[in-house]
Structure formats: structure tokens, C-alpha cells
Amino acid sequence: MSEKEIKNLEAIFEAKIARDEKIEPKDWMPEKYRKTHIRQMSQHAHSEIVGMLPEGNWITRAPSLRRKVALLAKVQDEAGHGLYLYSATETLGISREELYEQLHSGKAKYSSIFNYPTITWADIGAIGWLVDGAAIINQVPLCSTSFGPYARAMVRVCKEESFHQRQGYEIMLTLANGTPEQKEMAQDALNRWWWPSLMMFGPTDDMSTHTEQSMKWKLKRKTNDELRQQFIDQTVPQANILGLSIPDSDLKWNEERGHYDFGPINWDEFWQVVKGHGPCNKERLQTRVDAWEEGEWVRDAAMAYAEKKAERKVKQAG
């Protein structure tokens, strides 16, 4: 393709972004746009399926049938989110096998939050309330992201996340209004999940490597810091209703800014977790690798069946 033709295609692409039109898989797009989307969307897909593990840990120990049914449905939804997102990523010309290989080899990232352990039942409440709460705030703007398949997948994901957030908050509300021991359990879960939830939004804007370009492409509609602040402003009143205290002595309403001020985030801990040294990184990755290896016979059987069926069709036709 000549330089002039490429410039032409770039101009068409930029004009579409400016008009807020969706970029579809068969449209021409800059290679960097394609790669950035594969990176973010596949990290997102991996996060959904690794994210099933901390909660899956409590399905057999949910305190009642009602809680078990809700938790099962939530964890299944997360598998579904992973599938929509892997499918949407495949439209950019990368195979599912390559994506899994990147996860299993440790090359691909997934959200830092899923490398923390779920020690008590209250952690299931805290994940729904805080982790899904943070996910919604991050993902609602993604419903209007510029790449069509990602934007459309996000619409359904956000609807389901909203049910997840409510089931988590309701667990917290029940515990907070229960016995002193139950309330203590809820407070302990909030203490452990608060800071990692703030880290989910990614590094501060001045440290973020991708935000500037991703905002120009309308992949990201808000910066990491804007979303983090929105989450804090929205969550503090919810903690007040629960009668629980957020573990941050610097947390204070700032009349002038119209936002809560908050204390320093431990970015050293964040990068340690991202680099594979969090409390559960090894366990999470090993569980995914084991599931892949143990499922090999299912994939082989499905392929053998498909081949046999195709052979039979050819024979019948001939």
C-alpha cells in the first residue's frame, strides 16, 4: 500500500473516531490501535476467568442455599464475561489458543485484585460490593468505547455486574446488622479489600503509560484517577450506611474540590502484585494451567467428533 493510501485510511479512521462512530473488525485500523485493544481486552478477559477463583472457593461453604445459588450464578456470569471478551478479542485477529498461552505462560496480565485470598465469608460480600462496584465504574464508560465488539460486550457485562454489586452489598448489610462477631467480620473484610480495590483502577495518571493514547482513541473515556475518585465518592456513603469505617485516617470530604480526599496508596504493593509476587499469584495461575491441562481430553473428544461428523458428510455426499 502506498504512503498516500495509508494516509487516506488514517484520515478516515480518525474522522470516524471524531464522529463517535464505532470501529468494526473489518474496518482499517492502525496496527497500534489493534494491539492496544488486544492487550486491554485480553487482560480484561483473563481477569474475568481468574476472578472466578477467589469466589469459587466459597461456593461449597456458602452459609445458606439462597447464598449458594446467588454466588453460583455470579461466578457463572464471570465465565460468560470471559467468553464474550475472548470472542470480541478474537475479532482482532488473534486466536483463543494464543490468548490462553499468554495467560498460562505468565506473559499476560490480569487484574491485581484477584491475587488476594478470600479468608472469610465476609470477603464474598466485600468482593461484590467493592470489586464489582469498582468494575462497574470502570466499565460503564467502556460501553461507549470506540471498538464496536468491546462496547457491545460491555453493555451486558455491566448489567450483570450491577446484580453482583447488589448481592455483595446485601451480604455486607446482613453481616453489619448481625451479631458483634459478624459485624467484626464485615469490618475486617473491608479493611483488607479497600486498598486493593483502589489499586484496581491502575497507576496514577502521571504514571500510566497508556492513558493518553487510549483517551485519544476513545478506548478509555475517563482516566484512572478520575474513575478512582468517582469510586471513593460513591462508596464512602455506602460504608456509612453499613456503619463500617473505611481504613483511611486521611479520608475527608473536601468542600472546595467537591470530592473526598484520601490517603496515599501503597504503589509498591501494587507493582509487587502485578509482577507476580502477590499473596495468591502462583496459586491462581497454577489453577488455570491445571484446568487447561485437565480439560485436554474434552477438547480432543470434541475435535474427534467434529472430524468424524465431517467425514460422514463427505461420504454421504459422494
Using alpha carbons only, give the angle 125, 80, 286 rounded to the nearest 5 degrees: 75
CA 121 to chain centre: 21
Q: Which lies closer to ligand FAQ via its Cβ, residue 9 or residue 59?
A: 59
**Could you tell me if 254 and 260 are in contact, meaning their C-beta atoms sit under 8 angstroms apart?**
yes
- Contact characters 289-308, ligand FAQ, x per CB under 6 A: --------------------
Least Cβ distance, residue 199 to ligand FAQ (angstroms): 6
Q: Which lies closer to ligand FAQ via its Cβ, residue 19 or residue 107?
A: 107
Q: Which lies closer to ligand FAQ via its Cβ, residue 132 or residue 248?
A: 132
For residues 154 and 145, what is the distance between their CA atoms, to the nearest angstrom? 9
**Could you tell me if 253 and 201 are in contact, meaning their C-beta atoms sit under 8 angstroms apart?**
no
112 belongs to the binding site for ligand FAQ (CB under 6 A): yes
The one-letter code for the residue type at 184 is: E
102 belongs to the binding site for ligand FAQ (CB under 6 A): no
- Residue 93 in 3-state DSSP? coil
**Residues 198-227, interacting with ligand FAQ (CB under 6 A):** 199-203, 208-211, 214, 224
Q: What is the DSSP string of 20-76?
A: TPPB-TTS---HHHHHHHHHHHHHHHHHHHHTHHHHHTTGGG-SSHHHHHHHHHHHH
Query: In this chain, which of 17, 25, 34, 43 binds ligand FAQ, going by CB under 6 A?
Result: 43
118 belongs to the binding site for ligand FAQ (CB under 6 A): no
**Residues 222-251, interacting with ligand FAQ (CB under 6 A):** 224
Q: Which residues pair with 261 in a beta bridge?
A: 252
**Residues 131-160, interacting with ligand FAQ (CB under 6 A):** 131-132, 135, 138
- DSSP secondary structure code for residue 112 in this structure: G
- Contact characters 56-85, ligand FAQ, x per CB under 6 A: ----------------------x-------
Least Cβ distance, residue 256 to ligand FAQ (angstroms): 27
Q: Which lies closer to ligand FAQ via its Cβ, residue 109 or residue 183?
A: 109
Q: Which lies closer to ligand FAQ via its Cβ, residue 148 or residue 184?
A: 148
Query: In this chain, which of 16, 22, 34, 39 binds ligand FAQ, going by CB under 6 A?
Result: 39
Q: Which lies closer to ligand FAQ via its Cβ, residue 184 or residue 225?
A: 225
Residue 305: count other Cβ atoms within 10 Å of its Cβ.
10
Give the residue from 122, 114, 113, 142 showing the smallest Cα distance to 40: 142
123 belongs to the binding site for ligand FAQ (CB under 6 A): no
| Helix 281-294 with 31-50: angle, nearest 10 deg | 90
**Could you tell me if 176 and 186 are in contact, meaning their C-beta atoms sit under 8 angstroms apart?**
yes
How many residues belong to the site for ligand FAQ (CB under 6 A)?
28
The total number of residues shown for the chain amounts to 318
Interface stretch with ligand FAQ, choices 9-17, 40-48, 86-94, 230-238 (CB under 6 A): 40-48
44 belongs to the binding site for ligand FAQ (CB under 6 A): yes
Backbone angles phi, psi at 122, to 5 degrees: -60, -25
C-alpha radius of gyration, the chain, whole number: 22
Binding site for ligand FAQ (CB under 6 A): 39-40, 43-44, 47-48, 51, 78, 109, 111-112, 127, 131-132, 135, 138, 199-203, 208-211, 214, 224, 274
